[in-house]
Structures are given as C-alpha cells and as structure tokens.
C-alpha cells in the first residue's frame, strides 16, 4: 500500500505501508542500532516520535514477549528500508508487522532511510506527517502547521504509570489505593534489600530488572507523586527514570526532586539527569538531532576509561549551567562533547545521560547500579 512521509521543511519520501491504512504526525528521529527494534518500539522515551532505523533489514528475528520495555508500543510510526515479513529466530512468537497492526501503529518500508537520516543530521529532527490516505505533500504541510513541536510538551504524563507498583521477580505488582498515601510500612523486604522509590517518567523494564539484580526492592511511583509521600516511605534511595520529550514543562517533577535533594541517595538517568539538573539550578536545551543508538562513546572522567553506551534523548544539560563548584562533571560524550554525567561534591547524588541498563546495547555501564547500592550502604552507615 502506497504511503508518503513529508517533513515540515517540505522534503518528502515515498514509501509503502506493511501494516495497513493510517495517518500520523510526530517528530521524526533516527536510531543507529543494528538490533533491538522491539526494545526501541516499546521504549517510552520515544513517545511522540516516529523512528527510522539506519540498519536496513528489520523484522528478521520477529518479536517475542520477553523483549518489551513497557506495556505497549510507544512510537507513533516505524520507518524502515526493507521489512522482513517472515522471521527466522527460535525466540520469535510472531512477526513485526502483525505486532504493529495489533497496536494500531503504522509501519512502512521501501523508504530511503539513508537519505532521511542524512537529511535529519543536516537539518535537525523535525515534525513529519506519514499517511496512506493523503499522498499530497502540500496537504501534508498544511496539516503539519497545526501539529505542536516537541519543545514545550509534557509527554511524561502520557507514559507514567497511573498508580504505584512493586517490581518483583521481573514483573509488576500493582499497589491498590492512592499512591500518595504510601508510608514506611509499604516495604516487604526492608533489611534484606535496599528500598528504592523509583519515579516513573517513562521507566524501562530493564532498569527495574537491573535494580532488582543489584539487590534492590523497588516501588515505582507515578511522576506526580509528591515529595512528602517519599519522605513518609523513608526509602534507602531514590531513582529518577528516563522518559520522553522536553524536561522543562515537567516542572512538578523538578519541584519534587528539589525538595528531596539530600534526603536520600539519588540516581538519575536520561530524562532523570535533566530534571535533576534543573532542580539544581541548571539549564537544558534541545539537541539538533539527538543521540539514539547503542554505540555512543562516552569518556568517564573519573577513571579515564571509554564506555560504549546505549542512548535515546533529544535534549541535554547545558554544561556551563552547572559549573558552580558544587557539581562535578563525571562523563562527556566523545562525539560532540555534551554532558553525559555528573555528581554532587557534598550530597549523595549522581546521574548520567545515557542508559546503563542498555536493552538493547552494550553492558559497559552496568557498574552504575552497583555504585547506587554502594552509595545507599555508605549513607546508611553515616
């Protein structure tokens, strides 16, 4: 079925839908990973975006229920060069096309993903409209004029959990009642495991798996949970998750984080580092085309080692805005010198811009979860 993708600057790309009819508009971005398309599709940080994969053959190994990173497909549309309809992998339980169709998400192929990626790298990430119903680029541009840009949108509210839940043995267990009513009696294994209150700004399942593997009991809280609830819960540590979009409109989370700084050890990743930076008085800005893929080189300034990391973000923290003596820069991106990590010189908190849990990606940064448990241990010992 014929389809057309039109960018807001007027560039258009002919393609073919392999999921049926539909139309959608969103920001279009690219991911450089060679594998892991199911994790990409279900990563809440991609909310409000169409994703194109730079690797040309997609669908080869199908899909399965074990590789999801949330409870649904999060992308607005999936753009690939060559869709492989028949999967060939012993883990596959279905095809990519059927998976997208069941969730009402457009998938297109026969699109020049190399040209699209090069265009985004030069012109920047931008809004686009994809349609099988309307193949007129001028009509697409008129529709795009009414589509809001990524900047200024609070997308966290569309992905955060409606209620609190335990994460145990690799699955979520809902907690009944108002999450704001939780107190220090909510923990089931206090003393056996580190009690961690994790804010859900769009949290990935593999983060929760990694925290559990590191010896944590995790309760996941909706993004708007107030600081007084966390204080009543009295956790050993606080985790700030990844999530989609612009951090500045998520002012309620920034306020809560500011109230909790210094209360307990704190660890943030991706959107979490941006919200933490804003709470510390820093600034954020939108990158030209973002960092998305499993091959981003990052230098650890504390050890001098180079880590290959998995990343997915379109905004970043302004390095200069945190140079006040209280915050120490710990990691930088070797491709563009952007900030990738910091820690506080006096208070027990640290954060990174990349994804130490990977899924997909290398495991170079898994040590950060152990760093978090060590910080909780040291804090408890005084």
Rounded to a whole number of angstroms, the distance between the first and last alpha carbons of the chain is 64
Catalytic site residue 363?
no
* pLDDT at residue number 272: 98
Q: Which residues contact 381 (CB under 8 A, 6 or more apart)?
A: none
User: What is the spatial distance between Cα 147 and Cα 1, in angstroms, rounded to a whole number?
Assistant: 25
The span from the CA of 109 to the CA of 209, in Å, is 33
Q: Is 357 a known active-site residue?
A: yes
Return the CATH fold of 156-381: Rossmann fold (3.40.50)
SS3 84: coil
The whole-angstrom separation of Cα 229 and Cα 207 is 22
Q: How many CB atoms lie within 10 A of CB 171?
A: 10
The confidence score (pLDDT) of residue 351 equals 98
Instruction: Say if CB 199 and CB 214 are below 8 A apart.
Output: no
Q: Find the DSSP H helices in the chain.
A: 37-41, 96-102, 113-123, 137-144, 205-213, 227-233, 251-260, 271-279, 367-381
DSSP class of 78? E
Q: Is residue 292 a contact partner of residue 311, using CB atoms and an 8 Å limit?
A: yes
Within the chain, how many helices (H) and strands (E) appear? 9, 20
Is the overall model pTM greater than 0.95, yes or no? Answer: yes
Give the length of the chain.
Answer: 382
Cβ atoms 331, 337 nearer than 8 A? no
Q: What is the pLDDT of residue 210?
A: 97
Kindly write down the DSSP assignment for every residue of 246-276, as one continuous string. Answer: -STT-HHHHHHHHHHTTTS-EEEETHHHHHH
3-state helix vs strand vs coil in the chain, percent to 5: 25, 30, 40
pLDDT of the chain, 382 residues: tens digit per residue: 999 999 999 999 999 999 999 999 999 999 999 999 999 999 999 999 999 999 999 999 999 999 999 999 999 999 999 999 999 999 999 999 999 999 999 999 999 999 999 999 999 999 999 999 999 999 999 999 999 999 999 999 999 999 999 999 999 999 999 998 999 999 999 999 999 999 999 999 999 999 999 999 999 999 999 999 999 999 999 999 999 999 999 999 999 999 999 999 999 999 999 999 999 999 999 999 999 999 999 999 999 999 999 999 999 999 999 877 899 999 999 999 999 999 999 999 999 999 999 999 999 999 999 999 999 999 988 7
pLDDT, residue 289, reads 96
For the 2-144 domain, the top CATH level (class) is: alpha beta
Cα–Cα distance between 364 and 311 in angstroms, integer?
Answer: 13
For residues 44 and 54, give the distance between their C-alpha atoms in angstroms, rounded to a whole number. 20
Which residue out of 186, 216, 270, 313 is catalytically annotated? 270
CA distance 26 to 127: 5
Contact call for residues 307 and 316 (beta carbons, < 8 A): no
What was the pLDDT predicted at 141?
98
pLDDT at 382: 72
pLDDT at position 324, please? Answer: 72
Cβ atoms 63, 93 nearer than 8 A? yes
- Domain ranges across the chain: 2-144, 156-381
What lies within 8 Å, CB to CB, of 31 at 6+ separation is 40, 51, 52, 53, 54, 292, 293, 312
């Amino acid at each position: 079925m014929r389809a057309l993708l039109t960018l807001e600057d007027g560039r258009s790309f002919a393609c073919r839908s392999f999921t049926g009819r539909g139309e959608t508009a969103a920001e279009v971005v690219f991911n450089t990973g060679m594998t892991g398309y199911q994790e990409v599709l279900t990563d809440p940080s991609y909310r409000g975006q169409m994703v194109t994969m730079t690797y040309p053959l997609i669908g080869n190994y199908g899909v399965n229920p074990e590789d999801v990173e949330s409870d649904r497909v999060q992308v607005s549309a999936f753009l690939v060069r060559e869709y492989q309809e028949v999967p060939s992998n012993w883990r596959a339980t279905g095809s990519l096309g059927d998976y997208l169709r069941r969730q009402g998400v457009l998938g297109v192929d026969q699109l020049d993903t190399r040209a699209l990626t090069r265009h985004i790298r030069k012109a920047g990430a931008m809004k686009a409209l994809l349609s099988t119903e309307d193949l007129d680029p001028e009509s697409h541009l008129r529709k795009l004029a009414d589509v809001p840009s990524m900047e200024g949108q609070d997308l966290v509210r569309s992905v955060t959990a409606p209620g609190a839940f335990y994460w145990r043995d690799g699955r979520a267990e809902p907690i009944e009642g108002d999450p704001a009513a939780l107190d220090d009696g909510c923990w089931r294994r206090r003393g056996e495991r580190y009690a961690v209150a994790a804010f859900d700004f769009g949290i990935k399942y593999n983060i929760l798996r990694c925290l559990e593997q590191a010896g944590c009991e995790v309760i996941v809280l909706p993004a708007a949970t107030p600081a007084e609830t966390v204080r009543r819960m009295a956790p050993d540590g606080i985790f700030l998750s990844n999530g989609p979009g612009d951090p500045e409109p998520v002012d309620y989370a920034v306020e809560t984080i500011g109230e909790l700084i210094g209360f307990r050890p704190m660890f943030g990743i991706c959107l979490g580092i941006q919200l933490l930076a804003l709470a510390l008085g820093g600034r954020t800005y939108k990158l030209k085309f973002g960092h998305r893929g499993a091959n981003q080189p990052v230098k650890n300034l504390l050890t001098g080692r180079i880590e290959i990391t998995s990343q997915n973000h379109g905004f970043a923290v302004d390095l200069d805005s945190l140079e006040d003596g209280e915050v120490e820069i710990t990691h930088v991106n070797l491709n563009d010198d952007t900030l990738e990590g910091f820690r506080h010189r006096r208070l027990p908190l640290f954060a990174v811009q990349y994804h130490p849990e990977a899924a997909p990606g290398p495991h170079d940064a898994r040590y950060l979860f152990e760093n978090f448990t060590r910080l909780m241990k040291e804090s408890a010992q005084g």
